């Protein structure tokens, strides 16, 4: 039986954040125990529960110290995404005047992975970002015009800095070490690190494959590094559901 | 009382209800997965046929089926529509409030009433109703979640996103409102309605939000006829 | 060719490692997760054009399959079904066909033949775009479901199961689709059609109902403009 979190001491805000991931690997949920001075940045819409005294503030996800241009760009992108569907770009900032907890969870089933960033860079597909605490910088990278037309995988988030990061996978998460080249279905990509370059293209299969393979877009990675794949894909779910739909 | 075993937890929970001859279990329509051939099924509408039809026009079907084992012991397999965990709550004199989509089944002695004043998801299509479960006798209520089930203890107050509610002790006071920011910010931020709880009691939450999931998947499907 | 089942039981995925060039795996459309660059992909219609024409096509129903061929030993292929849930790998030895929902087929060795199977007068999955598929031949067969996979060993007493929960069953079983509980139940019970299985064999049922998921998502679809 789980009882409400009551942190007994006041830990140093610059140390690692106290948190717990429960209900993994299928329906992982993250609880962060806040102390005054800490801010949890979390993807918009992800809040499950919070203590009444925890404050919530909506911001545009334009990086930590964005200039006006970056802010405008972020707003425009967010509006486009909100209208045509796909990941939105607003985040919530949670702070607390006294110790308190906030629970967050992603929309799709799967895992939450915790990562302490110590200066390295991790690139995530935007749907994978869940929350972060600390000196974590987020920069949006554009995946190319082709991917903008697909409903997913258009934007990537480049995360760097020092702090705690939590990201999600739709399904289970697996690391594949690339040495040379490797192909990943766009909807199954969580993120990557290392000196990898990638190219988004059609899946192949000739002319018939272009229209009928059902495979959509793929990312072809070149170089050396680690890619993270997830074992489920939203487009594949939609495709599987379509013949079952009434009307 | 029927024996209820829940397997395939936490994601694909399946309740296996073992009935003695003559014993019954009442389940939400559509919850039956399989059953032994000697189990009889009877349909009843909550509040009579009129009440049941009223529910249907309100967008919510609340027909229930009573499964009874005849001439020998029987087995009924029950599951909710979405992936997630299930838990069987033993009845107490105060009873529970249950989010309507979370109700799966109950023993025949438990009264399930629709509470007036449900709430709609923020800008969403589906209406959610609140059910009240009470019983003068020992009984069980089987609830199924979308996601994992977490039991929280409210000691004073707690704020929960309405899409994540499964059930709560009737001893708690609750009120539903906006998430806290302005309306525009609420729309842009994706935070919908929240429920403010006060008092002492248990709240069962689910680690996923069905409305958000529906919107995410629905956006990728071909449009439907109006 | 070797295979490994990962992320069971909730997000089951298959990882195939090819041992020799020329080895092939046939996958349902949209099942590929990731693969070595050296694998070639070819798209064709299931059973050829004429057999494909036999199918009932319903808005987006995929009749296409992708065949992946290895060019070098050690190449890998990951594949997974659309819905969350479990999957089962069976080695068919040619003695008994397997029947399954068309939505359950995930992949197979090219030495396995697929065809439509008789679903009974009422149709096995009436009201949906699904149909009954028969698989026979030699080699590995992969099928999946929405939810957990629950195996039932059917004996002389038989077993009754909601048709939307039927994933697959061995070819030796007799099956009979019926309405349950009379006319009132068809409209109000939500249970619809059930299948009465009899004989000796194994039945796989899903602990979740794909039609229920479809009904759940349906109101969230965009509404068609005009018309």
Does the CB of C72 have a partner CB in chain A at under 8 Å?
no
B150 → closest Cβ in A2, A26, A78: A2
Cβ of C190 and B29 within 8 Å? yes
Which of A182, A183, A243 has its CB closest to that of C129? Answer: A243
Which chain B residues touch A49 with a CB distance below 8 Å? 152, 158-161, 164, 205
Instruction: Answer whether residue B225 is part of any domain.
Output: no
From chain B, pick out residues whose CB is under 8 angstroms from the CB of A46: 190
Of the candidates A180, A188, A239, the beta carbon closest to that of C33 is on A188
* Closest chain B residue to the Cα of C148, Cα to Cα: B12
Confidence of residue A239 (pLDDT cuts 50, 70, 90): confident
What pLDDT is attached to residue B74?
92
Q: Is the pLDDT of residue A11 over 50?
A: no
Q: What does pLDDT average to over chain A?
A: 78
State the pLDDT confidence band at B176, using cuts at 50, 70 and 90. Answer: confident
Contact A222, A196 (CB under 8 A): yes
**Cβ neighbour number for residue C183 with a 10 Å cutoff:** 8
- Averaged pLDDT for residues C150-165: 86
Confidence class for position C123, pLDDT limits 50, 70, 90: low
Neighbours of A219 (CB within 10 A): 23
pLDDT at res. A12: 46
Chain segment B128-153, per-residue pLDDT in tens: 678 899 999 999 999 999 999 999 99
Local structure of residue B58 (DSSP, 8 states): T
CB contact under 8 A, A236 and C214: no
What is the C-alpha separation between A219 and A184, in angstroms, rounded? 5
Q: Check residue B125 and give its pLDDT.
A: 37
The reported pLDDT for the residue numbered C29 is: 79
CA distance C227 to C208: 35
Q: Do A206 and C43 touch (CB under 8 A)?
A: yes
What residue in B sits closest to A1 (Cα-Cα)? Answer: B151
Q: Provide, as residue numbers in chain A, all residues whose Cβ is less than 8 Å from the Cβ of C127.
A: 246
Enumerate the residues of chain A whose CB falls inside 8 A of the CB of residue B158.
Answer: 4, 49-52
Q: Which chains touch C (3 or more CB pairs under 8 A)?
A: A, B
pLDDT of residue C178 exceeding 70, the answer is: yes
Which of C32, C62, C216, C218 should one mutate to test binding to chain A, selecting the residue with the greatest count of A CBs within 10 A? C32
Q: Give the residue on B whose Cα is nearest the Cα of A23.
A: B148
Which band of pLDDT confidence, cut at 50, 70 and 90, is reported for residue B156? Answer: confident
Contacts with A4 from chain B: Cβ below 8 Å: 152-155, 158
Q: Which residues are paired to B34 by β-bridges? A: B77, C161
Higher pLDDT, C222 or B203: B203
Does residue B224 surpass a pLDDT of 50?
yes
Query: In B, which residues are within 8 Å of A85 by CB distance?
Result: 219-220
What does the pLDDT average to over C5-10? 90
* Mean pLDDT, range A191-202, rounded to an integer: 83
Task: Please list every residue in chain B whose beta carbon sits closer than 8 Å to the beta carbon of residue C220.
Answer: 124-126, 214-215, 217-219
Q: Which residues have C-beta within 8 Å of that of residue C118, sequence separation ≥ 6?
A: C132
The pTM (predicted TM-score) of the whole model is: 0.80
pLDDT at res. C69: 94
Q: What is the DSSP string of B130-147?
A: EEEEE-SS--EEEEE-SB
Rounded CA separation A62/A76 (Å)? 11
pLDDT of residue A100: 92
- The tens digit of pLDDT for each residue in C74-115 reads 999 999 998 989 999 999 999 999 999 888 999 999 999 888
In a domain, B226, yes or no: no
B109 Cβ under 8 Å from any chain A Cβ: no
Rounded to the nearest integer, the mean pLDDT of chain C is: 82
Closest listed residue to residue C82, CA positions, set A232, A186, A171? A232
**What structural domains and CATH numbers belong to chain C?**
2-218 (3.60.160.10)
pLDDT, position B130: 84
Task: Please give the tally of structural domains in chain B.
Answer: 1
User: Is-contact B40 B76, C-beta < 8 A?
Assistant: no
Cβ-Cβ contacts under 8 Å, C211 against chain A? 244
Neighbours of A242 (CB within 10 A): 19
- d(CA C57, CA C102) in angstroms, rounded, equals 12
pLDDT greater than 60 at residue C62: no
Q: Which two tokens stand for residue A8?
A: 């007994």
A227 pLDDT exceeds 80?
A: yes
Average pLDDT for A97-115: 92
User: What per-residue confidence (pLDDT) applies to A148?
Assistant: 55
Is B174 inside any structural domain? yes
* CATH code (residue B211): 3.60.160.10
Name the residue ranges covered by the structural domains of chain A. Answer: 18-244
Q: How distant is the Cα of C189 from the closest Cα of chain B, in angstroms?
A: 5
SS3 label, residue A92 = strand
User: For residue C19, what pLDDT band results from cuts at 50, 70 and 90?
Assistant: very high
**Would you state the pLDDT for residue A195?**
80
* The CATH number fitting domain A18-244, selected from 3.60.160.10, 3.90.1280.10, 3.40.50.720, 3.90.1720.10: 3.60.160.10
The tokens 């998502």 sit on which residue? Answer: C217
Is C218's CB within 8 Å of A246's CB?
Answer: yes
DSSP letter (8 states) at residue C72: S
CB-count burial class (<10 Å; 0-12, 13-18, 19+) for B53: middle
Contact C198, C169 (CB under 8 A): no
Q: Cβ A232–C11 below 8 Å, yes or no? A: yes
Interatomic CA distance for residues A183 and A198, integer angstroms:
9
Tell me the sheet residues that pair with A115. A165
**Beta-carbon contacts of residue C36 (< 8 Å; ≥ 6 apart):** A182, A183, C72, C74, C75, C76, C77
* Chain A neighbors of C64, CB-CB under 8 A: 208, 212-214
pLDDT in tens, B184-221: 555 555 566 788 899 999 999 999 988 888 888 888 88
Query: Given an 8 Å threshold on Cβ–Cβ distance, is B216 in contact with A234?
Result: yes
Give bridge partners of residue B225 from the DSSP assignment.
Answer: none
Kindly state the average pLDDT of the residues B82-101: 92
pLDDT in tens, B55-88: 554 444 567 889 999 999 999 999 988 889 999 9
Percent of chain B with pLDDT over 90: 43
Tell me the two tokens of residue B16.
């296996």
- The pLDDT value recorded for residue A2 is 31
pLDDT of residue C177: 84
Q: What is the Cα–Cα distance from B30 to B53, expressed in whole angstroms?
A: 16
Between C214 and A89, residue with greater pLDDT: C214
| Range ranked top by mean pLDDT from A68-77, A144-153, B215-224 | B215-224
Contact B112, B102 (CB under 8 A): no
Of B11, B221, B222, the CB nearest to C10: B11
A234 vs B205: CB contact, 8 Å cut-off? no
- What pLDDT does residue C186 have? 46
Measured CA to CA, the distance from residue A215 to residue B61 in angstroms comes to 37
Provide the pLDDT for residue B128. 66
- The 10s digit of each residue's pLDDT in C183-217 is 444 444 455 678 889 999 999 999 888 888 888 88
Q: Which residue has the higher pLDDT, A32 or C222?
A: A32
- Domain residues for the domain of B78 are 3-218
Q: Residue C188's closest CA among B50, B19, B82?
A: B50
C121-160 burial: b if 16+ Cβ within 10 Å, else e? eebbbeebbbbbbebbbebbbbbbbbbbbbebebeeebbb
Q: CB–CB of C82 and A25 under 8 A? A: no
- Which has the closest alpha carbon to B113: B141, B75, B137? B141
Q: Per-residue confidence at A147, pLDDT binned at 50, 70, 90?
A: low
Whole-angstrom CA distances from B177 to A106, B124, B174 are 22, 15, 10
Task: With cut-offs at 50, 70 and 90, classify the pLDDT of residue B9.
Answer: confident
Name the DSSP letter for residue A17. P
**Inter-chain CB proximity C219 and B42 less than 8 Å:** no
pLDDT digits (tens, 9 = 90+) for B10-34: 888 999 999 999 999 999 877 888 8
User: Which residues in chain A are closer than 8 Å to B225, comparing Cβ atoms?
Assistant: 247
Question: Closest chain A residue to B151 measured between Cα atoms?
Answer: A2
CA C185, CA A177: separation in Å to the nearest integer?
55
Residue range A231-239: mean pLDDT, rounded: 87
> CB-CB: which of C13, C213, C214 is closest to A231?
C13
Contact C61 A243 (CB under 8 A): yes
Contacts of B222 in chain C (CB under 8 A): 59-60, 221
CA B86 to chain centre: 10
| Angle CA B213–B104–B24, to nearest 5 | 165
Which parts of chain A are beta strand (E)? 18-22, 29-34, 40-43, 47-50, 55-60, 90-95, 100-104, 112-125, 129-142, 155-168, 173-185, 189-202, 217-230
Say how far apart CA C42 and CA A208 lie, in whole Å. Answer: 9
Q: Give the per-residue pLDDT at A24.
A: 83
**Range from A1-15, A57-71, A160-174 carrying the lowest mean pLDDT:** A1-15
**Chain B residues within 8 angstroms (CB to CB) of chain C:** 7-8, 11-14, 28-37, 41-43, 45, 52, 61, 63, 65, 77, 79, 81-83, 124-126, 210, 214-215, 217-219, 221-226
Kindly list the residues of chain A whose beta carbon comes within 8 Å of any beta carbon in chain B.
Answer: 1-4, 22-23, 26-29, 44-52, 55-58, 78, 82, 85, 88, 90, 92, 103, 105, 107-109, 151, 234-235, 237-238, 241-242, 245-247
C216 vs A: CB within 8 A: no
Which of B180 and A37 is assigned the larger pLDDT? A37
């Amino acid at each position: 039986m789980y009882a409400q979190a009551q942190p007994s001491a006041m830990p140093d805000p610059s140390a690692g954040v106290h948190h717990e991931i429960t209900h993994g690997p299928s329906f992982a949920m993250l609880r962060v125990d806040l102390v005054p001075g800490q801010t949890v940045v979390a993807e918009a819409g992800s809040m499950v529960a919070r203590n009444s005294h925890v404050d919530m503030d909506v911001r545009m996800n334009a990086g930590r110290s964005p200039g006006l241009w970056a802010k405008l760009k972020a707003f425009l992108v967010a509006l486009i995404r909100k209208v045509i569907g796909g990941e939105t770009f607003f985040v919530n900032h949670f702070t607390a005047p006294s110790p308190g907890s906030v629970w967050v969870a992603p929309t799709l089933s799967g895992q939450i992975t915790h990562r302490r960033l110590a200066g390295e860079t991790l690139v995530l597909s935007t749907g994978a970002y869940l929350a972060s605490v600390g000196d974590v910088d987020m920069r949006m990278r554009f995946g190319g015009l082709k991917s903008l037309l697909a409903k997913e995988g258009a934007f990537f988030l480049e995360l760097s800095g020092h702090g705690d990061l939590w990201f999600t996978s739709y399904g289970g998460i697996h690391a594949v070490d690339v040495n040379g080249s490797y192909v990943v279905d766009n909807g199954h990509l969580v993120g990557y690190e290392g000196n990898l370059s990638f190219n988004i293209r059609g899946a192949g299969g000739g002319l018939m494959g272009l229209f009928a393979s059902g495979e959509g877009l793929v990312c072809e990675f070149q170089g050396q590094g680690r890619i993270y794949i997830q074992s489920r894909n939203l487009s594949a779910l939609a495709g599987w559901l379509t013949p079952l739909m009434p009307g | 009382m029927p024996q209820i075993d829940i397997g395939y937890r936490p994601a694909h929970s399946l309740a296996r209800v073992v009935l003695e001859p003559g014993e019954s279990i009442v389940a939400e329509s559509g919850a039956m997965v399989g059953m032994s051939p000697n189990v009889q099924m009877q349909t009843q509408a909550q509040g009579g046929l009129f009440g049941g039809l009223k529910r249907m026009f309100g967008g919510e079907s609340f027909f229930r089926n009573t499964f009874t084992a005849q001439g020998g012991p029987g087995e009924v397999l029950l599951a909710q529509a979405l992936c997630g965990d299930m838990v069987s709550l033993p009845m107490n004199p105060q009873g529970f409030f249950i989010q309507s989509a979370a109700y799966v089944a109950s023993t025949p002695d438990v009264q399930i009433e629709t509470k007036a004043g449900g709430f709609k998801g923020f800008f969403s299509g589906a209406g959610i109703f609140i059910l009240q479960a009470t019983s003068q006798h020992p009984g069980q209520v089987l609830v199924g979640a979308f996601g994992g089930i977490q039991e929280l203890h409210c000691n004073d107050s707690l704020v929960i996103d309405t899409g994540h509610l499964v059930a709560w002790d009737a001893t708690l006071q609750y009120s539903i409102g906006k998430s806290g920011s302005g309306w525009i910010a609420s729309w842009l931020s994706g935070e919908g309605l929240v429920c403010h709880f006060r008092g002492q009691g248990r709240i069962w939450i689910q680690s996923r939000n069905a409305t958000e999931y529906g919107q995410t998947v629905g956006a990728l499907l071909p449009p439907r006829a109006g | 060719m070797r295979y490994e089942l990962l992320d069971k039981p909730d997000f089951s995925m298959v990882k195939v490692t090819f041992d020799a060039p020329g080895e092939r795996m046939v996958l349902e459309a949209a099942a590929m997760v990731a693969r070595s660059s050296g694998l070639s992909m070819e798209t064709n219609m299931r059973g050829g054009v004429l057999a494909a024409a036999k199918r009932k096509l319903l808005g987006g129903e995929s009749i296409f399959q992708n065949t992946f061929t290895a060019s070098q030993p050690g190449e890998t292929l990951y594949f997974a079904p659309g819905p969350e849930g479990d999957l089962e790998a069976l080695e068919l030895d040619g003695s008994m066909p397997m029947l399954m929902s068309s939505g359950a087929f995930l992949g197979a060795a090219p030495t396995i033949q697929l065809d439509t199977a008789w679903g009974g007068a009422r149709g096995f999955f009436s009201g949906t775009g699904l149909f009954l598929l028969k698989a026979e031949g030699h080699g590995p067969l992969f099928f999946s479901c929405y939810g957990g996979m629950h195996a039932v060993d059917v004996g002389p007493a038989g077993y009754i199961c909601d048709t939307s929960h039927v994933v697959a069953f061995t070819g030796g079983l007799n099956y009979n689709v019926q309405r349950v509980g009379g006319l009132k139940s068809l409209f109000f019970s939500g249970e619809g059609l059930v299948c009465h299985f009899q004989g000796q064999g194994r039945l796989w049922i899903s602990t979740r109902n794909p039609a229920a998921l479809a009904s759940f998502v349906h109101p969230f679809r965009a509404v068609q403009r005009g018309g």
